[in-house]
Amino acid sequence: MEKIIFDKLQAMEEECNRLTGLLSQPEVVADRVKCSDARYARYARRCGQLREAVNKFQDYKGVLEQMEESKSILRDQGGGDEELRGLAQSELKELEKRKVELEGELKSLLRPERQDDERPVIVEIRAGAGGEEASLFAGDLFRLYCKYAEGKGWKAEVMDSHPAGRGGFKEIIFGVGGKGAYHRLKYEGGVHRVQRVPVTESQGRIHTSTVTVAVLPEAKEIEVKIDPEELRVDTFRSSGPGGQHVNVTDSAVRITHLPTGIVVQCQDEKSQHKNRAKAMRVLRARLLRYLKEKEEERISDDRRAQVGRAKRSEKIRTYNFSQGRVTDHRIGLTLHKLDQVLKGNLDELINALAQKLEAD
């Protein structure tokens, strides 16, 4: 590992240890009940931000120590106990492999783009090609992500939806809040393809449909300045499928950001105030993405080619029901565990994606 990276991790460990010590001091603990921005909350928040990298750095230092012990055995034995030498050599080989893995993980944790990883996210799912079958699979993906969020202890909250019957959606937008939500879900952005026999197919033919998924880190008000004079706000009566759940008041809200032309709307709440608040959250997230994409237009062609794999226009994954498999095209990984994936067991896919894509 490069000395500059090692030194930075060492400094992070020292800061984390210092903050841990401060958190046990009586005057800091007493501060805890005074206000939400008390020293205790600030220290605990910063300590939490450092903890993952610090724990992994401690693991890394432990591996280095074990490697030195194995090397010492090899030096001391010389032409002695061959069995002991063999064990030391075998252990050293495994430790070297673990050392390389930890170095890659630590470098990933230090990348600047990881500053978004602890944010809550807004996920937008839209039916693509395939008509009703695409809408049905949009519903399947929504339920998949809700199950995944539930398993992680995160909270999923619907922001806006356009149901299409049979449990499907033409579009559904929802927020997911919880530690590491964006870090895990950011790999889901792109075109998801499904191959299966639709429920409406009478002759058993397999159809191919697509659904697009966008995953946006939720922006804070201080990060995206929105001038109220640049907004056009329209209200209307929300409605559900087949004319159901029609409100008798203008509670649905549509907001247009005039400079960019970005339009968002929310109608799932009965309160116009709540719908407007949700719409503004979605608008801030889309504006943050818009600003980042504008910045990416200025970077080199080589860098833009790397960023390109996160574009929604690219097919990222295929779900083949007849073969019970899921294939992620970005890393060439196929799992014959479709039933488990649909139940929200995404970690095997996401872990493989993180290891491959963050190492590139």
Q: Looking at residue 170, what is its pLDDT?
A: 94
Which residues, in sequence order, are CB contacts of 331 under 8 Å at separation 6+? 352, 353, 356, 357
In the chain, % of residues over pLDDT 90: 48
Domain with 9 in it: 3-110
Residue 18 domain-assigned?
Answer: yes
Residue type, 332: G
Whole-number Cα distances in Å, 171 to 160, 168, 221, 266: 8, 9, 25, 12
Residue 128 domain-assigned?
Answer: no
This prediction has a pTM of 0.62
Residue 11 domain-assigned?
Answer: yes
Residue 308 domain-assigned?
Answer: no
Residue 329 domain-assigned?
Answer: no
Residue 285 domain-assigned?
Answer: no
- Tell me which of 101-105, 229-233, 242-246, 256-260 is least confident: 242-246
The model's pLDDT over 262-284, given as tens digits with 9 standing for 90+, comes to 999 998 888 899 999 999 999 99
User: In this structure, what token pair is assigned to residue 351?
Assistant: 């872990």
Checking if the pLDDT of 82 tops 90, the result is no
Nearest to 212 by CA among 90, 99, 311: 311
The mean pLDDT value of the chain amounts to: 84
Total tally of structural domains belonging to the chain: 1
Residue 34 domain-assigned?
Answer: yes
The model's pLDDT over 314-341, given as tens digits with 9 standing for 90+, comes to 689 999 999 999 999 999 999 999 999 9
Residue 55 domain-assigned?
Answer: yes
- Tell me 112's DSSP state: G
